[in-house]
Amino acid sequence: MEILALQCDALYGRGVSPAANAVGGAKRGPRKGGVDKEQILAAAREEFALHDYKGTTMRSVARRAGCDAKLIHYYFGSKDELFAEAISQVMESLQIAQWWISQAEEGGGGGAQVLRQLLNFVETNESGPAYVAMVRALSSEERVRQMFLDRITLRVALPTFTSLGLDQVPVRMNLITIQLLGLISVRYIMKFEPLASMSRDEVAALVGPTLDRYMSPDLFAQP
């Protein structure tokens, strides 16, 4: 037992194993000065951007993050979970829910603002290329795609729709996802013209009203 405790101390810090933490409550992260979850997620986004989903391994992420691959398994469990969390975190960071709610409270549609926020991120943020690469992987990795949708529904869609008093959450979420991921694919991956060369404001103005329609309380009203 003493040897096991020393091994856990070397890997996780403070001599407390993940199993012991699970018994006592929340998991304890690595000791101060070690690699944390945010650093691992940043390294993962870089790896996925460079090597796509299939070409990225837990070991390659660990090398880039400067930690043992066991630490990544400790935090995320699998490459699927790591990927889903990495791309979901990007979507959360855009604060789409807050944008839509604030616009609705002011009496206007938030679709164009949300799109402008997303396009600005992709084209100006250092994590933009990684996000595009991860969107590309979603089209071919069914398990990861479902994990991503589950996370976004729980963390972004439900708070937004609940605050706005909207029904039919799964359908609305599917429709909005088609628009956002489809736009990213056509503009940045397949690079269809003229959409690929249009300004961000032009794209937001054209597609934004469609998103607003999906957020309308009357979307499912009978004609």
**What is the per-residue pLDDT for 3?**
37
**Contacts by 216-223 with C-beta closer than 8 Å and gap 24+?**
217/164, 217/165, 217/166, 219/168, 219/172, 220/167, 220/168, 220/171
pLDDT digit string, tens, across residues 22-35: 334 444 554 434 88
List the domains of the chain with CATH numbers.
Answer: 1-34 (no CATH), 88-214 (1.10.357)
191 SS3 class: coil
Q: Which residue has the tokens 């605050």?
A: 163
pLDDT digit string, tens, across residues 73-84: 999 999 999 998
pLDDT digit string, tens, across residues 154-171: 888 888 888 888 889 889
Q: Cα dihedral angle (168, 174, 178, 179), rounded to 10 degrees?
A: 30
> pTM of whole model > 0.75?
no
Cα separation, 160 vs 15, whole angstroms: 41
